[in-house]
Chains A and B, each alone.
With several copies, the nearest count.
Chain A
Amino acid sequence: MTITHRGSERVNDFAVKLANVNGTGSASANSLLVQAIFRMGIPVSGKNLFPSNIQGLPTWYEIRVNGNGHTARAIDYDLMIAMNSQTYAEDIADVHAGGYVLYDSSWPLANDLKRDDVTFLGVPLATMCLENFQKPRERILMKNIVYAGAVAALVGVDVTVAADLLTETFAKNEALRESNQRALRLGYDFATENFECPLEFHLEPMDANADSILIDGNTATALGCLYAGATVAGWYPITPATAVMDNFTRLCAAYRREKIPSDNPDEPPTYKNNYLIIQAEDEIASIGMVLGAGWSGARAFTSTSGPGISLMSELLGLGYYTEIPAVIIDVQRVGPSTGMPTRTQQGDILMCAYASHGDTKHILLFPANPHECFEFAAQSFDLAERFQTPVFMLSDLDIGMNDWVVPRLTWDDSYVPDRGRVLNDTDLAEIAEFFRYTNEDEEFVTPRTLPGSASKGAYFIRGSGHDKYGRYTEVPDQYQEVIDRLKLKHASAAPHVPAPLIERHEGAKVGIITVGSCDLAVREAIGDLAGHGLATDFLRVRGFPFVPEVREFVEAHERCFVVEQNRDGQLRSLIAIETGVAPERMTSVLAYGGFPLSASQVVNSVLTQMEIA
């Protein structure tokens, strides 16, 4: 049983928006609700729409429940939790007619804020906390848990599940456990006593999440890097990428520290870190460190966002031209310039594809959710070492910083990293001479050696013109021979990057191409469009260079829409340049305001442009 609509009753199909003040501890309450719903086996998503601010500005959280798994952002809300008096007006206006607004009735609501097409649910949160809690700090914090309790009652969250979650969370902290439990109850009871609970839209347990987990993309990315065996990281803090390194650091501390028992039994063991994570002085240094480590044979990576890629441009060209493995995680945010650091976009696609001056081309991977972040992050290292070149994984803020319900992460323990073509001293002993850029394989990759190996394998890396022997050259043919091979090498990566996902539908003459975090919204839109009588096929690009299927897909359809989250249709441009199809065969569907994409944006744009709307 997924969604049911019995008369006015709607089961497992609604959206709640919570309006809070940044820095007041609401995240705890909001994620408590999402986790509880998740445990009830119901597909759910929580999207954090937060400001570039530490304390005091408005921040929103959206919870969408959808039994059919359509958990892209919904932009039409059944219930608003209005906890921020600064934004009462806009928040109350945001609820659709017939919806509900929960507010703190410790203070009366100004009349001009009232709407008669929505129901106001007053809960005296401040007063309740004042009466029930002593510490001033608690009185602020617990308001959040109290409204969480009320919401639980209103939409039918199994309160024991919520209670269990709190118990687990505060296992180590008696005091906090007790007060949180109390707060939850307070809210829950108040709602049941004062309102008709549950509301007509509400939850009913399912078991859609048996094989799923709730995780954010940055954590999953860090896990992928850990499993892939990354040992060196150079980075510089930047939202929304910072959490990748925070998590990687945490994970390494837990799993990468070697215990060295001391000879003297009385002395405690010492620990050796089999990894090094360096917070660099800037992004240029970050990528420099990654290239230095990659040259030396370590699996190394950096995580950053748009501004960081811009700064790395020069050295990215060095890595490309000298053929050094490197992994760059770009958690995209809104550009240009500093833009909106806490909002999402897909605006770095073209830049990453061709980052740096001169003729450069890079390998790109486009995860759509945390599960793919985990897999693609790991795969990035294999690709970087196999093709001896910088590889970009383009995540974004929506994927990276929001909690997603995704299939449980699995890892094949028989995984053997693809370290690419590296000659060790034994290999060197067997060959007459070693020249860095000779002896290419069918993928145009030439074997490298690592610093420290026998002098026979010693060579001199240079970002200046070099011939296939690695020697300095200014002779046109010798220079061209090398960069021509680089172009072929890049092309050979196509079958190795994640293949595009294609879904065909009966009689579809229209195709929809998309990428990354647009995935869920576009899939939902395809359903809705079918409802409007428009059958569409689906293709999600997951890697660059492109396989022929991308081109074929465009040509196989009378018309194609390319859905992406940037202003200039960057994916569309990249497809045109690289596959040769006419840009005109592809119509852009663009959303770039900084909030995660929702299906209705896609549906409206497609229908309008098809002129059947």
Chain B
Amino acid sequence: MPSIVKPLIPLNPLPKNDLGLTVRDYEGAMSTLCAGCGHDSVTAAISHAFFELSTPPNRIAKLSGIGCSSKTPTYFVKGAHGFNSAHGRMATIATGANAANRELTYIGISGDGDSLSIGLGHLMHAIRRNINMVYVIENNGVYGLTKGQLSASADIGSAPKKGDANLLAPIDPIMLGLTLGATFLARSFSGDKEQLIPILKAAATHRGFALIDVISPCVTFNDHEGSTKSYKFVRQHEVKEVETDFVPLAVPIREKIPSDEAKAVTMHDGSVLRFRSVPDGYDPSDRMSVEEYIRDRQSRGEIATGILYVNESGAE
């Protein structure tokens, strides 16, 4: 059943962490997302990261807003305390929780709609306050749960960009973070667990606000304009009754992102994203050069991934 696809788990016998727990203890309820949804891969990575960090499940507070992405906290670390709040408001709830109890590890899961539209102001002020938490944006460029409207990060990945850049410029949380003096900024791809897990671990150990923008494709409403396999295209060119509620089963995309070259990854809708992870020796501490690096890669149609910026001095 598509609804019971589980995050991949290692072969038995399951290894144990310092607490004597297995990765199973860091999983949660059965996912009800679409088969192949990028979010499920992120969920799996989170389970692994906390497992490897040996974080006591009950010392984790997992929060979210509203959206397919925001449903995922139910799917990891069942022993953690969870709060699936309201659309766009997770950062404010996390801020208050943090004020009341600074001893827990806070992880917030959000979507691009949740964080870059309705919740944008809160996200920016949480960055400014450097709230001690991991903030994951599962970024798919669409509003998944409401069936595929474009989000404010919409043309992430649609290369070349469509339309008037000044009218449709996507909002890039990493760039905003740099402007706002964020202390930890990373970008990754749901399909690359090898990269994502270490980033999650680094973020969880960072004292301060750690923002991770994870490109996490929506297999169902991969709605880039002009994509001939896109949901929108089907809606318009085939017949409503037949297609609207048919969600073909898809498999999650998995790719290892190299640093020596850009890796081209084909999305479910046929569009191609070109990922590159930062090279060895990359210096994530100088804001200006970081920005230049990202923009330079962008200008080549590449998405730079990895831990892009860190400022531990600023950590609380």
Q: For B58, what are the chain A residues with a Cβ–Cβ distance below 8 Å?
A: 452-455, 457-458
Q: For B243, what are the chain A residues with a Cβ–Cβ distance below 8 Å?
A: 25, 28
CB pair A455–B57 under 8 Å, yes or no, is yes
CB pair B246–A141 under 8 Å, yes or no, is yes
Known: A237-B149, A296-B97, A458-B81. A281 touches B122 (CB 8 A): yes
CB pair A458–B246 under 8 Å, yes or no, is no
Q: Does A101 contact B (CB under 8 A)?
A: no
Q: Does A291 contact B (CB under 8 A)?
A: yes
Of the residues B2, B97, B98, B149, contact of A55 by C-beta under 8 Å: B2
CB of B313 to closest CB in A, whole Å: 20
Q: Which of A270-295 contact B (CB under 8 A)?
A: 276, 278-295
Q: For B147, what are the chain A residues with a Cβ–Cβ distance below 8 Å?
A: 54, 237, 242
Select from chain A the residue with minimum beta-carbon distance to B242. A28
Q: Does B82 contact A (CB under 8 A)?
A: yes
Q: For A54, what are the chain B residues with a Cβ–Cβ distance below 8 Å?
A: 33-34, 68, 144-145, 147, 220, 247
What is the bound-complex CA distance between A25 and B238, given in angstroms? 13
Q: For B262, what are the chain A residues with a Cβ–Cβ distance below 8 Å?
A: none
CB pair A285–B57 under 8 Å, yes or no, is no
CB pair A337–B86 under 8 Å, yes or no, is yes
CB of B88 to closest CB in A, whole Å: 7
CB pair B117–A282 under 8 Å, yes or no, is yes
CB pair A289–B96 under 8 Å, yes or no, is yes
CB pair A458–B78 under 8 Å, yes or no, is yes
- Give the B interface residue count (CB, 8 A): 68
CB pair A24–B81 under 8 Å, yes or no, is no
What is the bound-complex CA distance between A41 and B80, given in angstroms? 57
CB pair B73–A460 under 8 Å, yes or no, is yes
Known: A232-B96, A288-B95. A281 touches B152 (CB 8 A): yes
Q: Does A6 contact B (CB under 8 A)?
A: no
The digit string for A54-77, where 1 denotes a CB below 8 A from any CB of B, is 111100000000000000000000
Select from chain B the residue with minimum beta-carbon distance to A177. B239
Q: For A300, what are the chain B residues with a Cβ–Cβ distance below 8 Å?
A: 96, 99-100
Q: Does B85 contact A (CB under 8 A)?
A: yes
Instruction: Report which residue of B2, B73, B103, B129 has the largest number of chain A beta carbons within 10 angstroms of its beta carbon.
Output: B2
Q: Does A479 contact B (CB under 8 A)?
A: no
What is the bound-complex CA distance between A103 and B57, given in angstroms? 43
Select from chain A the residue with minimum beta-carbon distance to B4. A56
CB of A48 to closest CB in B, whole Å: 9
Select from chain A the residue with minimum beta-carbon distance to B25. A455
Of the residues A291, A307, A464, contact of B96 by C-beta under 8 Å: A291
Q: For A25, what are the chain B residues with a Cβ–Cβ distance below 8 Å?
A: 242-243, 245-246
Of the residues A31, A290, A460, contact of B241 by C-beta under 8 Å: A31
Q: Does A26 contact B (CB under 8 A)?
A: yes
CB of A586 to closest CB in B, whole Å: 34
Q: Does A170 contact B (CB under 8 A)?
A: yes
Q: For A298, what are the chain B residues with a Cβ–Cβ distance below 8 Å?
A: 99-101
CB pair B122–A293 under 8 Å, yes or no, is no
Q: For A460, what are the chain B residues with a Cβ–Cβ distance below 8 Å?
A: 73-74, 82-84
Q: Does B166 contact A (CB under 8 A)?
A: no
Known: A23-B246, A276-B99, A285-B122. A458 touches B93 (CB 8 A): no
What is the bound-complex CA distance between A289 and B3, given in angstroms? 34
CB pair A56–B57 under 8 Å, yes or no, is no
Q: For A31, what are the chain B residues with a Cβ–Cβ distance below 8 Å?
A: 241
Interface size grouping (class) on chain A? 35 or more
CB pair B82–A282 under 8 Å, yes or no, is no
Q: Does B24 contact A (CB under 8 A)?
A: no
CB pair A285–B125 under 8 Å, yes or no, is yes
Q: Does B94 contact A (CB under 8 A)?
A: yes
Known: A54-B144, A282-B121, A472-B74. A292 touches B95 (CB 8 A): yes
Q: Which of B80-127 contact A (CB under 8 A)?
A: 80-89, 91-101, 103-104, 113, 117-118, 120-122, 125
CB pair A297–B100 under 8 Å, yes or no, is yes
CB pair B89–A284 under 8 Å, yes or no, is yes
Select from chain A the residue with minimum beta-carbon distance to B74. A460
Of the residues B35, B84, B100, B118, contact of A56 by C-beta under 8 Å: B35
CB pair A170–B239 under 8 Å, yes or no, is yes
Q: Which of A201-247 contact B (CB under 8 A)?
A: 231-232, 234, 236-239, 242
Q: Does B45 contact A (CB under 8 A)?
A: no
CB pair B59–A452 under 8 Å, yes or no, is yes
Instruction: Report which residue of A26, A276, A285, A459 has the largest number of chain B beta carbons within 10 angstroms of its beta carbon.
Output: A285
CB of A418 to closest CB in B, whole Å: 18
What is the bound-complex CA distance between A279 and B1, given in angstroms? 35
Q: Does A514 contact B (CB under 8 A)?
A: no
Q: For A32, what are the chain B residues with a Cβ–Cβ distance below 8 Å?
A: 241
CB pair A56–B3 under 8 Å, yes or no, is yes
Q: Does B61 contact A (CB under 8 A)?
A: yes
Q: Does A178 contact B (CB under 8 A)?
A: no
CB pair B104–A451 under 8 Å, yes or no, is yes
Q: Does A52 contact B (CB under 8 A)?
A: yes
Select from chain A the residue with minimum beta-carbon distance to B90. A288
What is the bound-complex CA distance between A281 and B125, given in angstroms? 7
CB of B63 to closest CB in A, whole Å: 8
Q: For B152, what are the chain A residues with a Cβ–Cβ distance below 8 Å?
A: 281
Q: Does A473 contact B (CB under 8 A)?
A: no
CB of B185 to closest CB in A, whole Å: 20
Select from chain A the residue with minimum beta-carbon distance to B5. A56
CB pair B149–A279 under 8 Å, yes or no, is yes
CB pair B248–A291 under 8 Å, yes or no, is no
Q: For A290, what are the chain B residues with a Cβ–Cβ distance below 8 Å?
A: 96
CB of A309 to closest CB in B, whole Å: 14
CB pair B100–A459 under 8 Å, yes or no, is no
Select from chain B the residue with minimum beta-carbon distance to A236. B118
CB pair B78–A289 under 8 Å, yes or no, is no
Q: For A57, what are the chain B residues with a Cβ–Cβ distance below 8 Å?
A: 3, 32
Known: A54-B34, A285-B125, A460-B74. A22 touches B86 (CB 8 A): no
What is the bound-complex CA distance between A315 and B92, given in angstroms? 11
Q: For A286, what are the chain B residues with a Cβ–Cβ distance below 8 Å?
A: 92
Q: Does A461 contact B (CB under 8 A)?
A: yes
Known: A57-B32, A176-B242, A455-B79. A237 touches B143 (CB 8 A): yes
Instruction: Report which residue of B78, B80, B81, B244 has the largest number of chain A beta carbons within 10 angstroms of its beta carbon.
Output: B81
Contacts A281-B121, A452-B81 aside, 6 further interface pairs with beta carbons under 8 A come to: A26-B245, A169-B241, A278-B129, A289-B92, A300-B100, A451-B81
Chain B positions within 8 Å of A, measured between CB atoms, are: 1-4, 32-35, 57-59, 61, 66, 68, 73-74, 78-89, 91-101, 103-104, 113, 117-118, 120-122, 125, 129, 143-147, 149-150, 152, 220, 238-239, 241-248
Closest 10 CB pairs of A and B: A56-B3, A292-B96, A288-B92, A455-B79, A289-B96, A25-B246, A298-B100, A23-B247, A296-B100, A460-B82
15 contacts between A and B (CB under 8 A): A27-B241, A173-B238, A238-B146, A239-B146, A282-B121, A288-B93, A288-B122, A291-B85, A291-B96, A295-B97, A295-B100, A298-B99, A298-B101, A462-B84, A464-B84
